[in-house]
Amino acid sequence: MLCRAACSAGRRLAPAATAAGSRHKHSLPDLPYDYGALEPHINAQIMQLHHSKHHAAYVNNLNATEEKYREALAKGDVTTQVALQPALKFNGGGHINHSIFWTNLSPKGGGEPKGELLEAIKRDFGSFEKFKEKLTAVSAGVQGSGWGWLGFNKEQGRLQIAACSNQDPLQGTTGLIPLLGIDVWEHAYYLQYKNVRPDYLKAIWNVINWENVTERYTACKK
């Protein structure tokens, strides 16, 4: 299932073997629910385009970039290796981020987390409502395209909120382990909410999969 595959996506990209077996390529993960399952909060058209077009493009471009990188590596072409780094970061980050995002959402989501995660949120942010307000504000404040994140600082043993531009992966750029990501690229909401990002951010809390976020929090503490 996607949940199992994506739980480790913040650390690595899970490749799928090609028919030849000599190389590995990344593949678009299946959603654990139908495109229309998150309605009325996120409509089916958005989910279909977001998953089957946008995420698929990151996967395809990542595979193409990695192929070019392998060729440059074999030739000892350091200049090309360096030139490919932005594409690896962008498309690799897009694949990592979306693989987490789909599992962070659920038609049975919403409400508040329970147990250890809720206690950690209260400890680090004062209350669940204060946490929710802060992550919403950080996500709303992203200039242009990017993500709002709840992450875990393993060194400090605490939760932190961060924003990442474009498709920058949280762990690869900040060291924080991703627990919950909110996509604020316009393709995530424009067809339904137009340019009113705050309305989308208000709605998305109704489909947050706290069970998945809790699983990630438990796993990263081990």
Q: Which residues sit in the known binding site?
A: 50, 98, 183, 187
Q: Looking up tokens 């495109």, which residue turns up?
A: 35
Give the residue from 188, 221, 169 showing the smallest Cα distance to 43: 188
- Interhelix angle 197-204/128-140, rounded to 10 degrees, is 150
Across 201-210, b (16+ Cβ under 10 Å) vs e yields: bebbbebbbb
The two three-digit tokens of residue 24, written as one number:
């590995």
Binding residue numbers for Mn(2+):
50, 98, 183, 187
| Cα–Cα dist 55/28, whole Å | 7
Helix (H, G, I), strand (E, B) or coil at 189: coil
Cα radius of gyration (the chain) = 18
Cis? peptide before 40, omega within 30° of 0: yes
